[in-house]
Amino acid sequence: MNEQNPERGRMSLDDLLQSNKAQFDKVFATQMDETGLLSSNHRPTTAADLESASMAASPTASINVDDVTAHLNARYGGAWSSEILEHKAERGGVSVLVKLTVDGVSKMQFGSARANGDTGKALQRATDDALAKCAAMLGDEIPGTSDAAVEAATPRQRPAPQAAPANPTARAAPGGGKLDVVSLDLIENSLRNARHEMDAVLFRSAMSPVIREQHDEYPMITDPKGRMIVGQFGSYVPEMLKSQSFDLVPGDVILQNDPFQCGGAVSHINDWIILVPVFFQGGLVGFTSMFGHMMDVGGPVPGSMPTAATSIFGEGLRIPPIKLYEAGVLNQAALDLIMTNTRTPEMNYSDLMAIIAGCRAGERRVIELCERFGADIYAQACDALLERTERAMRTLIVQNLPTEPQSFEDYVDDDGCGNGPFKMKLTVWREGEHAFFDWTGTAAQAPGPINFYLHDGMFKMFIGVYMIMVFDPQILFNDGFYDLIHVTLPKGTLVQPDFPAPLGCRTHTLSRQFDVLGGALSHNAPDMATAAGYGSSPHFLYSGTDRNGRGFQLMEILYGGIPGRPIGDGMDGHSWWPLFENIPTEYLETYYPLVIEGYNSVMDTGGAGLHRGGNGIEKVYHVLAEGDVSIHDDRHESQPWGILGGKPGAVSAKWLIRKGGEKSPLPSKIDNVRVQPGDRVVFRTAGGGGWGDPLEREPGKVRKDVARRLLTSGSARDDYGVVLQGAELTVDLRATQELREGTKRNRRPLPMFDFGARRGGVTNGSSG
């Protein structure tokens, strides 16, 4: 109870929140007027923003009776909005680039004004000048808006602020409301939280370890057009609904898993997509969606990812887009049919319903936002978030992509059917603010299941995620920049296979594309690039019947070495995929008949460098029940390359050790390896490439790596030129200096890329 205000203590939580928001809005509005913030763009403040802060004038300041904002309000009401795209002050004047949008039609024009000692007022006049020019392009001449007329106005001639919005960058809603930066911030963070709440609901409800523990799932919230506002992998909604049109109503739930019927929205049939349309007051305001990896979807091999498949028909059950729920009513017949075609019906059912529950959680949060702010404001916020990401990506493209085409090549080692290697080639360039990514030159589709049916939107999101994480991690992931990215995916190739190509092991090609993308982008910004990582998606599958006669089926995704980076070393035994985690040993040993005898970083597997590549890991599975093991991996022949003088990482390897001690190597892709109680499977993943000259690495860091059993003393000497003495691993500074100087004198010039020994006609030191 509030003793100073007893009434406040009896307020409901909603009333209290509303009261606090109103008070905050009042305070914030005052601050906006005082500081003269003109833009509702929400992004990290830059030095340029701070330098130009004094240029801003009060958003309520009008110029004269014929002021541009008042004219536009009177003429168009709430159907117009504007945005300052650029502004600068130099040589006693101010210039701006402004976009005016009226009824969905946009025009852009520059405006200018002389400062006359007051840069803030000049910025306002320049903005009005640009708006008047934009309006003229739309056939609307605004009188009295020339620079001379504007400058003639004095504060005494200006009328009181109009009731209509006077901020030239405020977004006007059709119903008269406008989006302010506070609401945008609240909506953005609410959507971020809703996306993570969808994850939390799923993780707490799912049964399979691959979703519950490893988090092999991807949530998304979109606008009504299906454009992703928050999420991870980019929107697939338009492609998903293209093959079959639905009359959507509240309570609908759409399910599908066929890559060839959704343009590659998912890339193999183990991924089941759920799509939920979100309605508010009878109107569609967006979609929530998630897809997750199912433990088994039928086919000849437990886990439904046979390494010897030669068509998608040999991989399991394909589900076209269907309404699993229609207006809230479950299609029980469809559900029964689907669950009959899996070896793990209880687990799949639990995971499927958990995915639906996660989507419902996102749906509730979107509806709450519409109830709180109104559907118009919510729609404006979605547009603003998309446009902000587009502007940020324009800058990244211009700053970091080459104007001349640059190509890079890497290889997937084999397809599991005895074929390979398979070249992946990507050419990158830009034209103005538009980026082009061309996969021409990539190998023809594989007979085996490593084909990756690459969805255009998904690859654009990969590009965005890569560039954002490398160059500006503060930018929000969404679909706003898609119009700036142009992708060429040649038909019949590894990245756009023809139906009915097998797709079950496509993650090796999916992983390798990040290495290729990084290599292609590094030509123009090598100091910002990374080396190559473990470039695969290692899978261990184990199924059978335990001593109590109960069937079991396990799938675990393992991790490898993350490459050396401009900012530091690569991580040891870490996932490439966002938010993935390992399955705890306690979980595995509790629910499956096995013992994990070892889970270690493998010394010297990360490439040497100023910033070393991360080490691969070795996991030893001691099986306690008869069953079958499947292995999926790559990078067993082609080393993860180093960059800027960094050395390549080590390749992957697998062994089967029988109970009697007989040890035999296993290929990187194999099914139906029969194991008996007491047998061991040793699974070693690849390391990551190094970044920069290893002879420049601080000797103290090398010593710590040896002490932590990440490097051997031999590698410290041979790769880093660091001489260690005694059990205390004391650095012999004089011997180290002499060794490094001698090595530098006698070695060849360092290559841009060091591929090590690899197949495919690419030699050591080639730049692709």
Question: Which pLDDT does position 679 carry in this prediction?
Answer: 98
| 641 and 705 housed in the same domain | no
| 254 and 371 housed in the same domain | yes
Among left, alpha and beta (phi > 0; psi -120 to 50; other), residue 455 is beta
Question: Which pLDDT does position 141 carry in this prediction?
Answer: 65
| 653 and 568 housed in the same domain | yes
SS3 sequence of 575-617: CCCCCCCCCCHHHHHHHCCEEEEEEEECCCCCCCCCECCCCCE
| 586 and 734 housed in the same domain | no
Give the predicted TM-score (pTM) of the model: 0.72
Domain containing residue 232: 183-388
| 543 and 672 housed in the same domain | yes
Cα–Cα dist 455/647, whole Å: 33
Asked whether residue 310 is assigned to any structural domain, the reply reads yes
| 279 and 194 housed in the same domain | yes
Cα–Cα dist 637/413, whole Å: 6
Asked whether residue 582 is assigned to any structural domain, the reply reads yes
Question: Confidence band (pLDDT; 50, 70, 90) for 108?
Answer: confident
| 137 and 247 housed in the same domain | no
Asked whether residue 142 is assigned to any structural domain, the reply reads yes
Question: Confidence band (pLDDT; 50, 70, 90) for 412?
Answer: very high
pLDDT digits (tens, 9 = 90+) for 187-228: 999 999 999 999 999 999 999 999 999 888 889 999 999 899
| 627 and 652 housed in the same domain | yes
| 13 and 161 housed in the same domain | no
pLDDT digits (tens, 9 = 90+) for 26-38: 443 443 343 333 3
Cα–Cα dist 56/169, whole Å: 12
Asked whether residue 608 is assigned to any structural domain, the reply reads yes
pLDDT digits (tens, 9 = 90+) for 453-466: 987 777 887 787 77
| pLDDT above 80 (res 524) | no
| 30 and 112 housed in the same domain | no
| 230 and 118 housed in the same domain | no
SS3 sequence of 560-580: ECCCCECCECCCCCECCCCCC
- Please indicate whether residue 721 or residue 108 has the higher confidence score (pLDDT): 721
Cα–Cα dist 65/143, whole Å: 10
Beta strands (DSSP E) in 704-743 are 724-725, 730-731
611 CB-side CA count, 13 A: 21
Asked whether residue 449 is assigned to any structural domain, the reply reads no
118-127, 176-185, 451-460, 614-623: which has the minimum mean pLDDT? 118-127
6, two tokens: 């007893």
Asked whether residue 756 is assigned to any structural domain, the reply reads no
Question: Which pLDDT does position 91 carry in this prediction?
Answer: 56
74, two tokens: 């009177």
Cα–Cα dist 494/46, whole Å: 42
Q: Single out the residue in 388, 423, 446 at which a domain terminates.
A: 388
| 27 and 42 housed in the same domain | no
Question: Confidence band (pLDDT; 50, 70, 90) for 45?
Answer: very low
Asked whether residue 463 is assigned to any structural domain, the reply reads no
pLDDT digits (tens, 9 = 90+) for 669-703: 999 999 999 999 999 999 999 999 999 999 999 99
Asked whether residue 479 is assigned to any structural domain, the reply reads no
Strand 178-179's sheet: what is its strand order?
A: 105-114, 93-102, 80-90, 171-172, 178-179
Q: Single out the residue in 336, 362, 388 at which a domain terminates.
A: 388
Count up the domains in the chain and report the number: 5
CA separation, residue 418 to residues 301, 421, 635 (Å): 19, 9, 15
- For strand 485-488 and strand 434-438, is the pairing parallel, antiparallel, or unpaired? parallel
